[in-house]
């Protein structure tokens, strides 16, 4: 399809962050958006990989700093699966080296937490609206 009717599609989102407050805040933000539904949350990389296989989300918002492994490793493992989800890496580290590592791992966008929830939401909406266009570098 050339263009998707965003009002008709419901995209399944999974949130991965070790901070319960971040998962809760992001969950509220995304649940209030038409066309988005949060299907699961994980607090570490192992849980994220298991849930991703089970829930088959369209997009995963993934923190880089997780207690058991980093988001770069999780991204590579997610992208190695059949029909991998879109991955938006979220981090307090918004330096060029971290962004480069994220894109090398296969993320679709890298968002510094300083962009705030509105900035993250705009990037998620852009990626979902254009999900078949390949990788997109969003700093």
Tell me which of 65 and 115 has the higher pLDDT.
Answer: 65
8 Å CB contact between 88 and 115? no
Q: Express each pLDDT in 16-50 by its tens digit.
A: 999 999 999 999 999 999 999 999 999 999 999 99
- Domains recognised in the chain with CATH numbers: 11-129 (3.40.50.2300)
The DSSP annotation for 17-44 comes to -S-HHHHHHHHHHHHTSTTEEEEEEESS
8 Å CB contact between 65 and 71? yes
- What residues pair up with 38 in beta bridges, in sequence order? 13
8 Å CB contact between 61 and 120? yes
Distance in angstroms (rounded) separating the CA atoms of residues 134 and 51: 24
Whether residue 136 has pLDDT greater than 80 = no
Task: State the burial class of residue 66 (Cβ atoms within 10 Å of its Cβ: 0-12, 13-18, 19+).
Answer: buried
């Amino acid at each position: 399809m050339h263009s998707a009717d965003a009002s008709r599609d419901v995209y399944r989102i999974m949130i991965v962050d070790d901070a319960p407050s971040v998962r809760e805040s992001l969950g509220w933000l995304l649940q209030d958006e038409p066309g988005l539904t949060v299907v699961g949350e994980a607090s570490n990389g192992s849980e994220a990989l298991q849930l991703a296989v089970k829930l088959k989300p369209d997009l995963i918002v993934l923190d880089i700093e997780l207690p058991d492994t980093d988001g770069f490793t999780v991204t590579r493992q997610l992208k190695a699966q059949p029909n991998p989800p879109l991955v938006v890496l979220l981090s307090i580290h918004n330096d060029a080296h971290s962004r480069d590592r994220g894109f090398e791992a296969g993320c679709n966008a890298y968002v510094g937490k300083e962009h705030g929830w509105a900035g993250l939401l705009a990037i998620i909406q852009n990626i979902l609206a254009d999900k078949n266009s390949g990788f997109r570098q969003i700093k």
